[in-house]
Amino acid sequence: MAETAEHKFKLKKDDTVEIIAGKDKGKRGRILKILRDKDRVVVEGANIVKKAKKRKNQQDRGGIVEIEAALHISNVALVCKKCGPTRIGYKISGETKTRVCRKCGEAL
């Protein structure tokens, strides 16, 4: 079997993103976790699913809990402060590489 190579993403943890496809289309939230091996991200308050949780100790409550499930990275877009959801570009000046908005060119 071939090993899957981890991909490099332009999105980072704590970026504000908008969901552009799926049941939560239009919702905005911040990235909580990036799953590089599966090309997925977990967005705060989006793609909520019910999951059965086992009781671990006396204080812990088991039962059905609602958690955020992972979304494919292609279904989210970074939100620019000026122009809303946008794609990301890079601007290299000397030694520094900065992420920029593809629409307005402002640093993200």
- Give ∠ CA 36-3-32 in degrees, rounded to 5: 10
Q: Which domains does the chain have, with CATH numbers?
A: 16-101 (2.30.30.30)
The 10s digit of each residue's pLDDT in 17-29 is 999 998 999 999 9
pLDDT at 42: 94
pLDDT at 28: 92
pLDDT at 2: 55
What averages of pLDDT result for each successive group of 10 residues across the chain (108 residues)? 69 91 91 92 92 86 90 92 89 90 85
pLDDT at 3: 58
- As given in the structure block, the two tokens for residue 19 are 């969901």
pLDDT at 105: 83
pTM over cut 0.85 = no
- As given in the structure block, the two tokens for residue 62 are 């088991």
- Residues 54-82: b if buried by 16+ CB within 10 A, e if exposed: eeeeeeeeeeeeeebebbebebbbbbbee
